[in-house]
Amino acid sequence: MNIPNILTTIRFFLVPTFIYVFYTPSIENNVLIATFVFILAGITDVLDGYIARTYNMVTKWGIALDPLADKLMQLTVLICFTDKGYLPVWVILVVGVKELLMIAGALFLYYFVDRTVIPSNRYGKAATVFFYVAILVIAIDISPIINYFFVLLAVTTTVIAFINYLIGFKEINENSCENKNVDK
């Protein structure tokens, strides 16, 4: 197991850590500390990707489990923040539907279109950054208007990223169908 895979594994352990801290009222500033656990998970995500690409440590294990760890952490944060009333239900519906459709699309491309993977792009990365910022702003609780603005910004960039991924999915699927017809 290499360093990027160890960082991905740490992210899996940070999920129950986040939940424990978030729901333990005896921990002073538990929501803020849980948010820092979430940010730590984000840092490990950036580090593992950077190290894997820079030092040619990309593995099949990492390719499969890295996005799973990310989605698991993000959905956990969404569920917890929605459960406690920090986020409106519509946020988890929009982001949840997007994530489920992306997982379904990724599985389809991987298993039915020559093991194809749509790589992350700047829209998806921007959406992730805005999601982290929105969660931090909510945890700090500057004002309801600022909280709502950042949540709206995170959801909007998530929808834009999803549309961009749909365009990529459609292009890859069409190219695959054309290549199969040419092979016949």
Q: What is the pLDDT of residue 133?
A: 95
d(CA 6, CA 9): 5
**Whether 52 and 100 share a structural domain:** no
Q: What is the pLDDT of residue 168?
A: 79
The answer to whether 91 and 151 have CB atoms below 8 angstroms apart is yes
Within a domain: residue 8?
A: yes
**Whether 93 and 174 share a structural domain:** yes
Q: What is the pLDDT of residue 116?
A: 65
Among residues 73, 99, 121, the one where a domain terminates is: 73
The answer to whether 158 and 94 have CB atoms below 8 angstroms apart is yes
Q: What is the pLDDT of residue 176?
A: 67
The answer to whether 47 and 7 have CB atoms below 8 angstroms apart is yes
Structure tokens at 140: 């700090």
d(CA 152, CA 1): 39
Within a domain: residue 176?
A: yes
Q: What is the pLDDT of residue 117?
A: 64
Within a domain: residue 80?
A: no
**Whether 69 and 32 share a structural domain:** yes
Domain interval for residue 111: 87-184
**Whether 68 and 91 share a structural domain:** no
Within a domain: residue 19?
A: yes
**Whether 60 and 114 share a structural domain:** no
Within a domain: residue 82?
A: no
Show pLDDT as tens, one digit a residue, over the chain (184 residues). 899 999 999 999 999 999 999 999 999 999 999 999 999 999 999 999 999 999 999 888 888 788 889 889 999 999 999 999 999 999 999 988 888 887 787 777 777 766 666 666 788 889 989 999 999 999 999 899 999 999 999 999 999 999 998 887 787 767 766 666 655 5
Structural domain count of the chain? 2
d(CA 132, CA 39): 7
**Whether 141 and 166 share a structural domain:** yes
Within a domain: residue 163?
A: yes
Q: What is the pLDDT of residue 10?
A: 97
**Whether 91 and 160 share a structural domain:** yes
The answer to whether 41 and 14 have CB atoms below 8 angstroms apart is yes
